[in-house]
Copies of this chain bind each other. A is one copy, B any other.
Amino acid sequence: MKKIKFGIIGVGRLGYEHACNLATRIPQAELVAICDGNEAAAKKAAEDLGVTAVYTDPKDLCADANVEAVAIVTNTASHVEMIRIAMDAGKHVFCEKPLAETVEKCKEAEAIIEAHPDLIFMLGFMRRFDHSYEVAKQKIDRGDIGDIVLVRSYSQDPRTVIEGNLAYAPKSGGQFIDMNIHDIDLIRWLTGSEPKKLWAIGGCYEFPQYKDWDDGDNVSCLMQMQNETMAFFFANRTAAHGSAVETEIMGTKGMLRIGATPTDSLVEVFSEHGVCRECYQDFVARWHQAYIRELEVYCEAVLNLKQPTPNVYDGTKSTDIAFKCKESFIKNELLTL
């Protein structure tokens, strides 16, 4: 059983999760090197996971001959530079979403990746790898719901983490880029099409701070796809019930809903509040299995030297659409793409 030797750059919250998965939960992977600008964090993760090679400079990690593939989980603004360093060092690259903070930089990433066609690249739109999304996709692909008519996708962040979200807001890019980019990726994936027209609206219904960043705390967008399917998506930062991602796929012969009651517990609570299902409170818990599965798929791709999806173009396109949404939102105009 061949194992791919991974180095990871960035072991913040999500980086640490990926590091644990690579080290302990993915049969085809081995974690051999860790890099983080925060040396203490790098050392702590290395110790926890039994990794001996520890770096603070990504170049050093990429220069480590033992490393075959690099997982990039740094801040968005550095992604393209990290891809360049890793690929120039001959490493396969798995990069967290979003690809970059501008469409221009996405194009740069495309150029780098195209210059290394032998290196396997994958972008971490993990929702596609969630068990429920995989189940739904299989049903769609075998025709259970007929032709797709509408995709509706919601991304709700729990109100309980609003402070962290507000602190992060200035560099998040806004709801369309930070949150809905996932919904946009799902819509492209599920409809097999690109938007031709879109209109985004929303506002600050409780947290006026978002106005400072030309953003809203609740936003939505209607898109008309080139193949005439419809898509509606929504994001907020004020969900009472938890970390809730829901996707509905309406077809001509049936409908699927994923995550309308977002919980991994089979427990029903009968209390004075009625019959209740308690929900995920945290995105890392929600996507735990998907984060593992995406890296399993990536490992298979590396082992077979076959480029997987989501690829760099999925990154560019979703980013481009998210920026168009933001433009439409700011202008309050219908955009034709």
Residues of A within 8 A of B (CB): 1, 20, 23-27, 48-50, 131-132, 135-136, 139, 144-147, 149-150, 159, 197, 199, 201-203, 205-206, 218, 220-222, 224, 228, 230, 232, 234, 236, 238-242, 244, 250, 252-279, 332-334
Contacts of A256 in B (CB 8 A): 267-270
Number of copies: 4
Is B271's CB under 8 angstroms from A260's CB?
A: no
Instruction: Give the interface SS of chain A, mostly helix, strand, loop or mixed.
Output: mixed
A187 to chain B, nearest CB (A): 14
Contacts of A203 in B (CB 8 A): 228
Contacts of A224 in B (CB 8 A): 201, 332
A6 to B40, CA, bound (A): 33
A132 to chain B, nearest CB (A): 4
Contacts of A20 in B (CB 8 A): 27
Sample of 27 A–B contacts (CB below 8 Å)? A1-B50, A24-B26, A25-B25, A131-B265, A132-B265, A146-B206, A147-B205, A150-B218, A150-B220, A199-B222, A205-B252, A218-B250, A236-B250, A238-B253, A240-B255, A241-B255, A241-B270, A255-B269, A257-B267, A260-B266, A260-B268, A261-B275, A264-B264, A273-B273, A273-B278, A274-B276, A274-B278
Is A271's CB under 8 angstroms from B241's CB?
A: yes
A131 to B236, CA, bound (A): 28
Is B232's CB under 8 angstroms from A220's CB?
A: yes
Known: A25-B25, A228-B203, A275-B276. A265 touches B147 (CB 8 A): no
Is A135's CB under 8 angstroms from B265's CB?
A: yes
Is B197's CB under 8 angstroms from A332's CB?
A: yes
A57 to chain B, nearest CB (A): 25
A308 to B192, CA, bound (A): 49
Is A274's CB under 8 angstroms from B263's CB?
A: yes
A159 to B273, CA, bound (A): 13
Known: A260-B268, A334-B333. A230 touches B252 (CB 8 A): no
A263 to chain B, nearest CB (A): 7
Which 6 pairs show the lowest CB-CB distances between chains A and B? Answer: A24-B27, A334-B334, A255-B270, A222-B222, A132-B266, A274-B278
Contacts of A232 in B (CB 8 A): 220, 222, 232
| Residue ID in chain B nearest A242 by CB atoms | B274
A230 to chain B, nearest CB (A): 5
Contacts of A274 in B (CB 8 A): 241-242, 261, 263, 269, 276-279
